[in-house]
């Protein structure tokens, strides 16, 4: 699967959904590790932020995007 991991809560999101169903700002929020719909964009109790490395690795493995652009590590 081409899943991208949320950097805040660890939820996995299908890359197709991110690129075709979410608007541009929300897509960028997920890719930059600012949260996703499952963790209320980083404001729920699930949003610990401990999945940032996994997020960058999932972008590198599962998409054709440049992971460096979305890396804040």
1-35 pLDDT per residue, tens: 689 999 999 999 999 999 999 998 999 999 999 99
| pTM, two decimal places | 0.87
Domain of residue 50 covers 3-62
The answer as to whether 22 is a domain residue is: yes
pLDDT band at 68 (very low <50, low <70, confident <90, very high): confident
Q: What does the pLDDT average to over 42-59?
A: 91
Kindly state whether residue 69 falls inside one of the protein's structural domains.
Answer: no
Structural domain count of the chain: 1
Q: 46 with 36: CB under 8 angstroms?
A: no
Among candidates 48, 47, 46, 70, which has minimal Cα distance to 57? 70
Q: Is residue 70 part of a domain?
A: no
Q: Is residue 7 part of a domain?
A: yes
Is 67 inside any structural domain? no
Question: Which residues make Cβ contacts (< 8 Å) with residue 34, sequence separation at least 6?
Answer: 7, 8, 41, 42
Q: Say what the pLDDT of residue 73 is.
A: 53
Domain annotation covers residue 68:
no
Mean pLDDT of the chain: 91
Tokens 């401990």 -> residue: 50
């Amino acid at each position: 699967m081409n899943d991208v991991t949320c950097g805040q809560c660890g939820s996995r999101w299908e890359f197709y959904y991110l690129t075709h169903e979410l608007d541009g700002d929300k897509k960028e929020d997920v890719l930059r590790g600012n949260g996703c719909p499952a963790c209320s964009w980083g404001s729920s109790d699930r949003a610990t932020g401990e999945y940032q490395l996994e997020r960058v690795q999932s972008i590198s493995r599962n998409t054709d995007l440049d992971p460096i652009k979305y890396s804040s590590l």
